[in-house]
A and B are shown apart, each in its own frame.
Chain A
Amino acid sequence: MIRRAVLLVVAVACGRPETIEPSRAVPFGGYSELALDPTPKGHRRMVPPEVYLRAYLTWFGGLSPAQVFQKARGRKLFDQWADYLVALGLPDYAIDAPRAAQSNTVMLAAMGRLGEALCVRSVEHDLRGRPDKRAVFAFEPIANPSRDEFASRFDTLHRTFLSYPARLAPADRVDRFYALYRSVAARHASGLLSADESGWAAVCAALVQHPETGLY
């Protein structure tokens, strides 16, 4: 009896392996009828300040905080980082201050100062330097652009800062920024920046502070 059982096991073990024939995958049913609710389920929230700052540094050429200090200092454009930690919404463990979860006016002001400083320096670097070295203003500038000429260049900035084409934005956005460009350029016939450079610096400073950049 035992001998027969052993033989049976051996026969089964050494037999031809069972094969499963491939078959066509059948999609799961029900999805075509499933009602999906794509509406947002809560308020938009501010991204953590560290993320916001990292985005700033990335947009302007992958700078380190120390490089920002080097690049933006001078002519009262920016001060030391330590002056701003809590104002920027960052936690400050030295005084037991937690990370800010809501924006406030001082935070916007501090971010705005940093943004303006980096935009001014980028204008100086990009629009006056070699075209292949342009980090933010990666387009060919022209003097006194028309609305369409402005729109194509604005789209470059819009993709950089807001991550999508300007044509997908609300319809009046390009016109609003074009008006900003023209009003600023008109006020700066002379100075450290030319009229067009001033216009682009203002457009850049507005885009880095845009409501869509800091929310998710």
Chain B
Amino acid sequence: MFLRTKNIKVSPIKQMELLAARIPDVVSLAQGVPSFDTPEIIKKASIKALKRGVVAKYSLTPGLPELRETIEQKLAEEEMYYDFEKEIIVTAGSIEAITASLIALINNKKNQVILFSPSYASYPEAVKVAGGQPVFVNLIESKNWQIDFKQLVRKVNSRTAAILLCNPNNPTGTFFPKEDLLKIAELAHRKKFVIISDEVYKDFVYEDSILKTSDVQNINDDFGASDVQRLNFFSLAQIPELRKIVIRVFSLSKAYAMTGWRIGFLHSDEENAKEILKIHDSLVTCAPVISQYAAISALDFSDKEVEEFRQEYQRRRDLICRHLDELSDFFSYQKPNSSYFVFPKILKTKSSWKFALNLLEKAHVAVVPGVAFGPSGESHVRMSFGRRKEDINGAMERIKKFLIK
């Protein structure tokens, strides 16, 4: 009866959370949820909107014009120029933006979507929901999880509808250098497919992630830490000539600690946006209006909080890495330079599911098995350092006891 959903699975991250909920006293490093609450100023703005009585009705399908105008202003600060009236759509989080884009793009002739492995666990299911077929291309762990271009070129064909990339990448905590992104763009231009760039972690790029010394030399002393990040982190949506082949997705969930508000947006050339809007309308009519008002305040007034989150995540990243260094007989890992995930390799067991289940049952620590993020994620686990320091310390102490028994 449910033929379409037969091959679609609930995200292994959620599965792990469900299993963990049954065991008392579990410390979870599984779900990628920030430990922070939504900043006060955002909550106040939504209460104000609620009291004004403006949140009970649908907004326009692409979103409140004042929010889209704010998004356009925010994008312009990052050198991305999009028309709020025709090229920006406010969505119910980034996964709705991604799914709506995929449904709009996938057809009988072009039904394959390239995904990097490892990458975000919900992507393959979103592709299947849209009636497409996920095609995996490996990231090379020894090269700090950069793209295997030989494999990418081999896997692209006339059926390729899109490449869906998470940048910075979940679960590896790394971001793609500009040169690699430009290579993907060139390939997309030649082979006529679209790039969906999911950049929900772009605000969490750490200060020690500058890639080249030449970059460093060019940075004027007047720049602050966040400017240094911007100089390093690059989005294809910054190149106007590529706007027809790039759909950029952003969510407020992570940057502004708003996962429960379900609010994000996408932007692309109007030709793409008008097609995606049809799907967005069919799926959700509009993003939750109260969250849209909250988003205006977030984008306008919460830069300071985002920067505080970033600095705290960097401290937590260093903390979890120190713990992992003490477990070098059991794990090897690439130090993440962005997002709030680390993706260590398990040295003594092959099956990441078995390892994660064992850890949950015996040590009462929840992590996500690496295989959830694609075939090459096997033998790894994803640990989130979005959790509080106490949780990180507690979980890592339990892991140490479990492994060194």
Q: Do A and B come from one complex?
A: no
Interface residues of A (CB under 8 A from B): none
Interface residues of B (CB under 8 A from A): none
